[in-house]
Amino acid sequence: MELFSPVNSKFNFAEMKMEPEGELITRNLTDMDWMFKDQRAVEKLKAEDPQIYRYYNVKIPEEKGHLQHCISVINPGKIGEEYYMTKGHFHARKETAEVYYTIQGRGKLLLQSVTDKKPEVQVLEMEKGSLSYVPPCWAHRCVNTGNEELVFAGIYPGDAGHIYGEIEEKGFARLIVEREGRPAIIDNLKYG
């Protein structure tokens, strides 16, 4: 393995961005509009195309032994009754895990098992200080249920890789929506 130099990154809360920026990936509504339940609400907002989330990847070799790490920022907001969320994915190397550390805001971490059996769904709370463990073989999506940006760090093996296609197509079996002013976990009737 080549010697890689130690590197520091810092999240600038005044400007809500990472410094140095690294690789910045932004997801606006039109990058994921089909993933929201309420397609009428999507149509109304499409022209405006709000940013849903962004993440700053520190550039690290995608090799075993390294640790990828990034800071994600999910904006507050809803499409219809469904909160802003990440697309969600599982790792190409399914046996790789991940740790999330919530730095600001409030949300839910939606986890769905990726095995041959019927998927199991679990939800973990994300709030300032939460250290959440995503074990191997669980797809993961973060949802901002608060009224400020949800900011969290993700740390995972260098060679984990990401698979989006299946979740882009099928979604998760549960959705996180606002009901009577509070987050509720409901079945995704379109799952499958």
- Interface with Zn ion (CB under 5 A): 98
User: Using CB atoms within 10 A of its CB, is residue 112 exposed (0-12), middle (13-18) or buried (19+)?
Assistant: buried
State in angstroms the smallest separation of the CB of 85 from ligand S6P: 9
Q: Where are the extended beta strands (E) located within 33-137?
A: 51-57, 67-74, 78-79, 82-83, 98-104, 106-113, 121-127, 131-134
How many residues in total does the chain contain? 192
HSE, side-chain direction, 13 A CA sphere, residue 172? 27
- The span of 43-51, 83-91, 121-129, 179-187 binding ligand S6P (CB under 6 A) equals 83-91
State in angstroms the smallest separation of the CB of 160 from Zn ion: 7
- The span of 82-90, 102-110, 116-124, 172-180 binding ligand S6P (CB under 6 A) equals 82-90
Q: Does 149 bind ligand S6P (CB under 6 A)?
A: no
HSE, side-chain direction, 13 A CA sphere, residue 4? 13
State in angstroms the smallest separation of the CB of 180 from ligand S6P: 28
Q: Which of 18, 29, 52, 72 binds ligand S6P (CB under 6 A)?
A: 72
State in angstroms the smallest separation of the CB of 179 from ligand S6P: 24
